[in-house]
């Protein structure tokens, strides 16, 4: 989703927050545990169903307005056990959170719901994530053209198939323009495969680096060190839950 300018959101700064638990280094290659089961568990006060194949669950709990608490939970060796790796302050949309089932493109709200995370990208090299990672090159866009079959996906301008503009309701994002936010970014599969894709529902919802300028246009942002750590734990079957 196109980022807000400083004039649109003000210059509120993200305050650093100490983790509630010691931060441990993630294994280089995440693996499934033989004892894991599908369970309903409470993580950061939020009841969630976690499938047997999931290694982590990221919880984003809105605290009012443009802020939230983001917590990363990782499985241990028991069937339904989780360990909290860290919790940190996060920024969400300038208009807070909204129901992902009814959200509209351009609303500047972060969609509530549970979503898969199956790919990542960034202007910087792969930080060591278990997700497929694309390092951004010149000409890469995130397509937000509602009339394109490539809506809500990463595509290079050399491939065509979308309106190459950043303006208007069908304007897309030229990824190289967001050097700080998109140093590293995890794609949240809101309104895209493997789930349903609806034009005008919204696109380009990511978990990315905080720009230092406060709220986002609908994404979730945190500090770069925490994002790199989170990415080191992720695998393609993992999910993020956004609540308020």
Round to whole Å and give the CA distance between 242 and 98: 10
Instruction: Identify whether 23 is part of a domain.
Output: no
Q: What are phi and psi of 167, to 5 degrees?
A: -100, 150
User: What is the pLDDT, as a whole number, of residue 8?
Assistant: 41
In this predicted structure, the answer to whether residue 171 has a pLDDT above a threshold of 80 is yes
Q: Which residue has the higher pLDDT, 19 or 66?
A: 66
**DSSP state letter for 182:** G
Lowest-pLDDT range, 11-15, 65-69, 238-242?
A: 11-15
Instruction: Identify whether 63 is part of a domain.
Output: yes
Instruction: Identify whether 28 is part of a domain.
Output: no
Full residue range of the structural domain in which residue 231 is found: 38-243
Other C-beta atoms within 10 Å of 168: how many?
A: 9
pLDDT in tens, 17-61: 333 333 344 544 445 688 999 999 999 999 999 999 999 999 999
User: What is the pLDDT, as a whole number, of residue 154?
Assistant: 98
Instruction: Identify whether 71 is part of a domain.
Output: yes
pLDDT in tens, 181-234: 999 999 999 999 877 789 899 999 999 999 998 999 999 999 999 999 999 999
In this predicted structure, the answer to whether residue 14 has a pLDDT above a threshold of 50 is no
In this predicted structure, the answer to whether residue 167 has a pLDDT above a threshold of 50 is yes
Integer angstrom CA distances of residue 38 from 50, 55, 89, 233:
6, 11, 29, 19
Mean pLDDT, rounded, for 177-183: 98
Are 51 and 38 contacting, i.e. CB atoms less than 8 angstroms apart? yes
Instruction: Identify whether 158 is part of a domain.
Output: yes
Q: Hey, which bits of 15-135 come out as E strands?
A: 39-43, 46-50, 56-64, 67-75, 82-91, 97-99, 110-116, 120-122, 133-135
Q: Which residues pair with 142 in a beta bridge?
A: 154, 173
Count of domains observed in the chain: 1
User: What is the pLDDT, as a whole number, of residue 95?
Assistant: 97
Mean pLDDT, rounded, for 107-113: 97
Instruction: Identify whether 137 is part of a domain.
Output: yes
Round to whole Å and give the CA distance between 183 and 178: 8
- Cα atoms in the 13 Å half-sphere on the side-chain side of 91: 28
CATH of the domain at 94: 2.40.440.10
pLDDT in tens, 79-109: 999 999 999 999 999 999 999 999 999 999 9
Are 49 and 40 contacting, i.e. CB atoms less than 8 angstroms apart? yes
3 state SS of 9: helix
Instruction: Identify whether 93 is part of a domain.
Output: yes
Burial (CB count within 10 angstroms: exposed 0-12, middle 13-18, buried 19+), residue 13: exposed
Give 15's pLDDT tier (boundaries 50, 70, 90): very low
Give 4's pLDDT tier (boundaries 50, 70, 90): low
Instruction: Identify whether 31 is part of a domain.
Output: no
Predicted TM-score (pTM) of the model is 0.87
User: What is the pLDDT, as a whole number, of residue 22?
Assistant: 37
Are 93 and 196 contacting, i.e. CB atoms less than 8 angstroms apart? no
């Amino acid at each position: 989703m196109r980022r807000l300018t400083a004039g649109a959101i003000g210059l509120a700064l993200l305050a650093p927050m100490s983790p509630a638990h010691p931060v441990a280094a993630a294994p280089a290659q995440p693996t499934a545990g033989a004892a894991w089961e599908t369970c309903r568990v409470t993580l950061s006060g939020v009841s969630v169903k976690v499938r047997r194949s999931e290694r982590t669950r990221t919880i984003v709990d809105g605290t009012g307005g443009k802020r939230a608490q983001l917590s990363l939970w990782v499985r241990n060796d028991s069937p339904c056990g989780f360990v909290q790796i860290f919790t940190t302050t996060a920024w969400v949309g300038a208009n807070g959170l909204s129901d992902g089932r009814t959200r509209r493109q351009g609303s500047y709200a972060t969609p509530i719901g549970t979503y898969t995370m199956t790919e990542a990208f960034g202007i910087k090299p792969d930080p060591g994530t278990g997700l497929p990672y694309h390092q951004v090159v010149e000409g890469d866009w995130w397509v937000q053209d509602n009339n394109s079959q490539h809506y809500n996906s990463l595509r290079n301008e050399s491939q065509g198939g979308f309106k190459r503009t950043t303006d208007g309701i069908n304007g897309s994002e030229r990824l190289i323009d967001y050097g700080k936010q998109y140093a590293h970014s995890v794609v949240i599969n809101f309104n895209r495969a493997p789930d349903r894709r609806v034009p005008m529902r919204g696109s380009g919802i990511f978990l990315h680096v905080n720009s230092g300028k406060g709220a986002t246009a609908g994404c979730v942002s945190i500090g770069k060190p925490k994002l790199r750590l989170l990415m080191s734990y992720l695998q393609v079957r993992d999910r993020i839950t956004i609540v308020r």
